[in-house]
């Protein structure tokens, strides 16, 4: 079965101000959809709303997972469905090691907790039984660190604490690889990367897409699209998607900038 995420006429307000003004979007597994738009147009707001950030209030419209609304679900429940958000600005959490955190996250998403509960039958729970076995987890983590070109020292470091911009983005890709989402929203995973890091991050995304992940690739620049080939490109402008087409749109934007979009919009309104 192919999982599908649909956003329909989505309006989102932050602290009383409407930021998203009717977004429509469909994304399915195996598909790459690039979303380009100027700073402040609401791309991150949309990402947060899909991931379930409580500060982002959906005032109308819907977010559907295989046809069912997920607006009532908390962020963790959405993650368990298979939705992943690679953050534009991942936060640093001192004292929490990357490996411990990831083991807890993977265990939760893969249902170890529910299984442990069912096995315990409501009785005494064994400490650690809600987690993926350490050895298995380590093996998989090390294999994926190698496959996704992430340094093995990441495991012991505190989550994003003291990470460079590039390390943070690579950390997000590693998390994504471990959590194996059905649909990932990559919020500017390419910004601030040098060419080597960009290549590594792009290859990571390509591998996961090849494995069946759907990706919403939010970006400012056409640059990453040289590495990750989108099926569709949309232009995001002032809180909505104003144009959708093929890769040629990205080239137009690159050549003519967002002024082109503004002109087109003005013409359409005239």
Partner 1 sequence: MTVQTQVFNTISGAAVQATSERFQEPEWLRLARAAAWENFEATPWPSYKEETWRRTRLTGFKLQQFPLAISEAAGSTRRQDLPAEYLSTLNQIDSAGALVFEDGRLIYAELNSEFRDKGVVFTDLRTALQTHDELVRAHFSALVPARENKFAALHYALWQNGTFLYVPKHVVVEKPFQVLVHLSAGKAAMHHTLALADENSEMTLVEDFTGAVDGMSDTVAEITPMAASRVHYLRLQNLDNTAWNFATMRTAAQRDSLYRQLQASWGSRLSKVWIDLEMEGPGSHGELLGLYFPQGRQHIDHHTNQNHKCERATSDLLFKGALNDRSRSVYQGIIRVWPGAQKTDAYQKNDNLILSAGARADSIPGLEIEADDVRCTHGATSAKVQDEYLFYLMARGLDRKTAKRMIVQGFFQEVLNRVPVPGVRTKLELEIARRVGLE
Residue 90, binding choice from ligand ADP, Mg ion, partner 1, none, Cβ under 5 to 8 Å by partner class: partner 1
CB-CB contact of 264 with 243 (8 Å) = yes
Binding to ligand ADP (CB under 6 A) within 27-46 occurs at 37, 39-45
Q: Does 221 bind partner 1 (CB under 8 A)?
A: no
Q: Does 41 bind Mg ion (CB under 5 A)?
A: no
Q: Does 19 bind ligand ADP (CB under 6 A)?
A: yes
Positive or negative, the CA dihedral 165, 166, 172, 175 is negative
Q: Does 117 bind partner 1 (CB under 8 A)?
A: no
Residue closer to partner 1 (CB basis): 52 or 230 = 52
- Look at residues 180, 170, 234 and name the one whose alpha carbon lies nearest to residue 212: 180
Q: Which of 58, 64, 104, 242 binds partner 1 (CB under 8 A)?
A: 104
CA distance 110 to 105: 8
CB-CB contact of 75 with 97 (8 Å) = no
CB-CB contact of 186 with 201 (8 Å) = no
CA distance readout (Å), 160 to 85, 87, 97, 153, 222: 15, 12, 9, 12, 27
Q: Which of 1, 15, 121, 270 binds ligand ADP (CB under 6 A)?
A: 15
Q: Does 44 bind Mg ion (CB under 5 A)?
A: yes
CB of 114 to Mg ion, least distance (A): 34
Q: What are the helix (H) ranges across 10-96?
A: 43-51, 75-81
- State the number of binding residues for partner 1 (CB under 8 A): 33
Q: Which of 16, 54, 67, 72 binds partner 1 (CB under 8 A)?
A: 54
Q: Mark the segment that binds partner 1 (CB under 8 A) among 62-70, 104-112, 132-140, 204-212.
A: 104-112
Q: Mark the segment that binds partner 1 (CB under 8 A) among 10-18, 35-43, 97-105, 141-149.
A: 97-105
Residue 41, binding choice from partner 1, Mg ion, ligand ADP, none, Cβ under 5 to 8 Å by partner class: ligand ADP
Residue closer to Mg ion (CB basis): 42 or 98 = 42
CB of 56 to partner 1, least distance (A): 10
- For residues 232-262, one letter each, b for 16 or more C-beta atoms within 10 angstroms of the residue's C-beta and e for the rest, the string is bbbbbbbbbbbbeeeeebbebbeeeeeeebe
Mapping DSSP to helix (H, G, I), strand (E, B) and coil, where does residue 60 land?
Answer: strand
CB-CB contact of 88 with 44 (8 Å) = yes
Helix axis angle, 134-147 relative to 165-179, nearest 10°?
Answer: 130
Residue closer to ligand ADP (CB basis): 101 or 221 = 221
Q: Which residues bind ligand ADP (CB under 6 A)?
A: 14-15, 19, 37, 39-45, 55
Q: Which residues bind partner 1 (CB under 8 A)?
A: 48, 51-55, 74-76, 78-80, 84-85, 87, 90-91, 93-96, 100-102, 104-106, 108-109, 158-159, 175, 179
């Amino acid at each position: 079965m192919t999982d599908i995420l649909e956003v329909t006429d989505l309006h989102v307000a932050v602290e009383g101000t409407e930021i998203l003004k009717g977004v429509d979007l469909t994304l399915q597994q195996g598909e790459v959809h690039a979303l380009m738009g100027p700073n402040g147009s609401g791309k991150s707001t949309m990402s947060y709303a899909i991931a379930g950030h409580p500060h982002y209030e959906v005032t109308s419209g819907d977010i559907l997972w295989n046809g069912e609304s997920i607006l009532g679900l908390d962020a963790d429940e959405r993650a368990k469905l298979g939705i992943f958000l690679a953050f534009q600005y991942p936060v640093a959490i001192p004292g929490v090691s990357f490996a411990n955190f990831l083991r807890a996250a993977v265990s939760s998403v893969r249902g170890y907790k529910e299984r442990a509960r069912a096995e315990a039958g409501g009785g005494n729970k064994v400490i650690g039984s809600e987690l993926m076995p350490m050895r298995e987890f380590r093996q998989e983590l090390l294999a994926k660190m190698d496959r996704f070109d992430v340094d093995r020292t990441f495991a012991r470091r505190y989550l994003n604490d003291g990470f460079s911009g590039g390390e943070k983005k690579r950390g997000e890709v590693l998390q994504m690889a471990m959590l194996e989402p059905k649909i990932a929203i990559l919020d500017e995973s390419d910004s601030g990367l040098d060419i080597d890091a960009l290549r590594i991050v792009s290859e990571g995304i390509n591998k996961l897409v090849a494995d069946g992940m759907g990706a919403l690739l939010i970006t400012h620049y056409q640059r990453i699209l040289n590495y990750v080939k989108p099926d569709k490109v949309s232009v995001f402008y002032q809180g909505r998607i104003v144009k959708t087409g093929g890769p040629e749109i990205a080239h137009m934007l690159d050549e003519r900038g967002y002024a082109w979009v503004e002109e087109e919009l003005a013409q359409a309104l005239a």
